[in-house]
Protein backbone atom coordinates (compact mmCIF):
# COMPACT_ATOMS: atom_id res chain seq x y z
CA UNK A 1 0.00 0.00 0.00
CA UNK A 2 1.49 3.34 -1.10
CA UNK A 3 0.38 5.36 1.93
CA UNK A 4 2.04 3.05 4.43
CA UNK A 5 5.34 3.19 2.56
CA UNK A 6 5.10 6.97 2.17
CA UNK A 7 4.52 7.38 5.93
CA UNK A 8 7.46 5.09 6.63
CA UNK A 9 9.72 7.20 4.38
CA UNK A 10 8.48 10.42 5.96
CA UNK A 11 9.22 9.09 9.45
CA UNK A 12 12.70 7.96 8.41
CA UNK A 13 13.70 11.49 7.32
CA UNK A 14 11.38 13.72 9.35
CA UNK A 15 14.06 14.54 11.94
CA UNK A 16 16.37 16.08 9.33
CA UNK A 17 16.65 19.82 8.93
CA UNK A 18 14.77 20.82 5.79
CA UNK A 19 13.23 17.34 5.76
CA UNK A 20 10.94 17.89 2.78
CA UNK A 21 13.59 17.50 0.06
CA UNK A 22 15.21 14.32 1.44
CA UNK A 23 11.73 12.84 1.88
CA UNK A 24 10.73 13.72 -1.69
CA UNK A 25 13.95 12.16 -2.98
CA UNK A 26 13.29 9.00 -0.96
CA UNK A 27 9.69 8.77 -2.20
CA UNK A 28 10.70 9.25 -5.83
CA UNK A 29 13.54 6.78 -5.51
CA UNK A 30 11.16 4.17 -4.11
CA UNK A 31 8.16 4.67 -6.44
CA UNK A 32 9.87 6.21 -9.49
CA UNK A 33 7.64 9.28 -9.02
CA UNK A 34 5.77 11.15 -6.29
CA UNK A 35 2.38 9.42 -5.88
CA UNK A 36 -0.44 11.99 -5.50
CA UNK A 37 -1.40 10.80 -2.01
CA UNK A 38 2.06 11.95 -0.84
CA UNK A 39 0.97 15.58 -0.83
CA UNK A 40 -1.68 15.23 1.89
CA UNK A 41 0.56 12.98 3.98
CA UNK A 42 3.54 15.32 3.70
CA UNK A 43 1.33 18.28 4.59
CA UNK A 44 0.01 16.43 7.63
CA UNK A 45 3.38 15.19 8.95
CA UNK A 46 5.43 18.29 8.16
CA UNK A 47 2.67 20.73 9.15
CA UNK A 48 2.71 22.58 5.88
CA UNK A 49 -0.04 23.17 3.35
CA UNK A 50 -0.45 20.94 0.30
CA UNK A 51 0.07 24.05 -1.84
CA UNK A 52 3.48 24.60 -0.23
CA UNK A 53 4.44 20.97 -0.84
CA UNK A 54 3.24 21.16 -4.43
CA UNK A 55 5.20 24.42 -4.89
CA UNK A 56 8.43 22.67 -3.92
CA UNK A 57 7.74 19.62 -6.12
CA UNK A 58 6.97 21.71 -9.16
CA UNK A 59 9.98 24.00 -8.57
CA UNK A 60 12.47 21.17 -9.12
CA UNK A 61 12.80 19.60 -12.58
CA UNK A 62 13.85 16.37 -10.93
CA UNK A 63 10.51 15.47 -9.34
CA UNK A 64 7.72 13.76 -11.28
CA UNK A 65 4.08 13.50 -10.21
CA UNK A 66 3.31 10.75 -12.72
CA UNK A 67 5.05 7.41 -13.33
CA UNK A 68 7.70 7.34 -16.03
CA UNK A 69 7.47 5.36 -19.24
CA UNK A 70 9.29 2.08 -19.84
CA UNK A 71 12.65 3.89 -20.03
CA UNK A 72 13.82 7.00 -18.22
CA UNK A 73 16.18 8.94 -20.48
CA UNK A 74 18.16 11.46 -18.45
CA UNK A 75 20.05 14.22 -20.21
CA UNK A 76 22.85 15.92 -18.32
CA UNK A 77 22.53 19.68 -17.97
CA UNK A 78 25.67 20.02 -15.84
CA UNK A 79 28.32 22.59 -16.70
CA UNK A 80 30.73 20.30 -18.54
CA UNK A 81 27.93 18.88 -20.66
CA UNK A 82 26.50 22.33 -21.36
CA UNK A 83 29.95 23.41 -22.57
CA UNK A 84 29.98 20.45 -24.96
CA UNK A 85 26.58 21.10 -26.50
CA UNK A 86 24.07 19.46 -24.14
CA UNK A 87 21.56 22.20 -24.94
CA UNK A 88 21.42 21.08 -28.58
CA UNK A 89 21.14 17.49 -27.47
CA UNK A 90 18.17 18.15 -25.19
CA UNK A 91 16.47 20.19 -27.89
CA UNK A 92 16.98 17.35 -30.38
CA UNK A 93 15.54 14.81 -27.94
CA UNK A 94 12.50 17.00 -27.21
CA UNK A 95 11.88 17.59 -30.92
CA UNK A 96 12.37 13.95 -31.84
CA UNK A 97 10.07 12.66 -29.09
CA UNK A 98 7.63 15.61 -29.24
CA UNK A 99 7.75 15.98 -25.48
CA UNK A 100 9.25 18.26 -22.86
CA UNK A 101 11.13 17.31 -19.70
CA UNK A 102 9.13 15.15 -17.29
CA UNK A 103 6.81 14.06 -20.07
CA UNK A 104 6.47 10.62 -21.62
CA UNK A 105 6.35 9.74 -25.31
CA UNK A 106 2.96 8.80 -26.76
CA UNK A 107 3.89 5.11 -26.94
CA UNK A 108 4.88 5.25 -23.25
CA UNK A 109 8.38 4.06 -24.09
CA UNK A 110 10.48 7.04 -22.94
CA UNK A 111 10.27 9.68 -20.26
CA UNK A 112 12.69 12.56 -20.61
CA UNK A 113 14.33 14.01 -17.51
CA UNK A 114 17.12 16.49 -16.81
CA UNK A 115 19.98 15.59 -14.52
CA UNK A 116 22.86 17.70 -13.19
CA UNK A 117 26.11 15.76 -13.65
CA UNK A 118 26.37 12.03 -14.20
CA UNK A 119 29.99 11.88 -13.07
CA UNK A 120 31.04 11.43 -16.68
CA UNK A 121 32.22 14.98 -17.42
CA UNK A 122 35.37 13.86 -19.26
CA UNK A 123 33.15 12.27 -21.92
CA UNK A 124 30.58 15.08 -22.09
CA UNK A 125 27.88 15.45 -23.22
CA UNK A 126 26.36 12.52 -21.36
CA UNK A 127 22.97 10.88 -21.06
CA UNK A 128 21.78 7.99 -18.92
CA UNK A 129 19.25 5.18 -19.31
CA UNK A 130 18.67 2.95 -16.29
CA UNK A 131 22.17 2.32 -14.89
CA UNK A 132 24.01 2.92 -18.14
CA UNK A 133 25.72 6.24 -18.90
CA UNK A 134 26.46 7.11 -22.53
CA UNK A 135 29.20 9.67 -23.17
CA UNK A 136 30.28 11.78 -26.17
CA UNK A 137 26.67 11.83 -27.24
CA UNK A 138 25.68 13.40 -30.54
CA UNK A 139 22.22 14.18 -31.91
CA UNK A 140 22.55 11.28 -34.31
CA UNK A 141 23.64 8.77 -31.66
CA UNK A 142 20.85 9.97 -29.38
CA UNK A 143 18.23 9.41 -32.09
CA UNK A 144 19.59 5.88 -32.61
CA UNK A 145 19.41 5.25 -28.87
CA UNK A 146 15.83 6.55 -28.72
CA UNK A 147 14.86 4.33 -31.66
CA UNK A 148 16.42 1.34 -29.96
CA UNK A 149 14.67 2.07 -26.66
CA UNK A 150 11.32 2.60 -28.40
CA UNK A 151 11.51 -0.66 -30.31
CA UNK A 152 12.63 -2.48 -27.16
CA UNK A 153 9.59 -1.10 -25.31
CA UNK A 154 7.34 -2.26 -28.18
CA UNK A 155 8.88 -5.73 -28.01
CA UNK A 156 8.28 -5.79 -24.26
CA UNK A 157 4.64 -4.78 -24.51
CA UNK A 158 3.99 -7.26 -27.34
CA UNK A 159 5.58 -9.96 -25.23
CA UNK A 160 3.38 -8.91 -22.29
CA UNK A 161 0.24 -9.35 -24.39
CA UNK A 162 1.35 -12.75 -25.62
CA UNK A 163 2.16 -13.98 -22.18
CA UNK A 164 -1.28 -13.14 -20.78
S1 LIG B 1 28.39 17.72 -16.19
FE2 LIG B 1 27.50 16.14 -17.37
S3 LIG B 1 28.49 14.38 -16.66
FE4 LIG B 1 29.29 15.94 -15.40
Evaluate if residue 132 carries a pLDDT over 50.
yes
DSSP conformational letter for 122: G
> Model confidence over 10-47: pLDDT tens digits?
999 999 999 999 999 999 999 989 999 999 999 999 99
The rounded distance, in Å, linking the Cα atoms of 43 and 87 is 36
The SS3 call for residue 127 is strand
Residue 24 alpha carbon to ligand 1 centre in Å: 23
Residue 136 alpha carbon to ligand 1 centre in Å: 11
Residue 145 alpha carbon to ligand 1 centre in Å: 19
The pLDDT score that the predictor gives to residue 102 is 86
Give the pLDDT band of residue 164 (cuts 50, 70, 90).
very low
C-beta 120 within 6 A of ligand 1: yes
Bridge partners (DSSP) of residue 134 are 127
C-beta 136 within 6 A of ligand 1: no
The pLDDT score that the predictor gives to residue 163 is 46
Q: Is residue 133 within 8 Å of residue 117, measured between CB atoms?
A: no
Residue 123 alpha carbon to ligand 1 centre in Å: 8
C-beta 118 within 6 A of ligand 1: yes
> Model confidence over 73-119: pLDDT tens digits?
999 999 999 999 999 999 999 999 999 988 999 999 999 999 999 99
Give the pLDDT band of residue 158 (cuts 50, 70, 90).
low
State pTM to two decimals.
0.77
Evaluate if residue 160 carries a pLDDT over 70.
no
C-beta 79 within 6 A of ligand 1: yes
Main-chain phi, psi angles of 4, to 5 degrees:
-60, -45
Amino acid sequence: MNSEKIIELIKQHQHLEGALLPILHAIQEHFGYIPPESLALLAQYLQQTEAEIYGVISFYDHFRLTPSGTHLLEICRGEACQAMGAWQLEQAAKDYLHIDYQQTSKDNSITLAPVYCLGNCACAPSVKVADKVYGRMTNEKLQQLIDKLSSYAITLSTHDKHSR
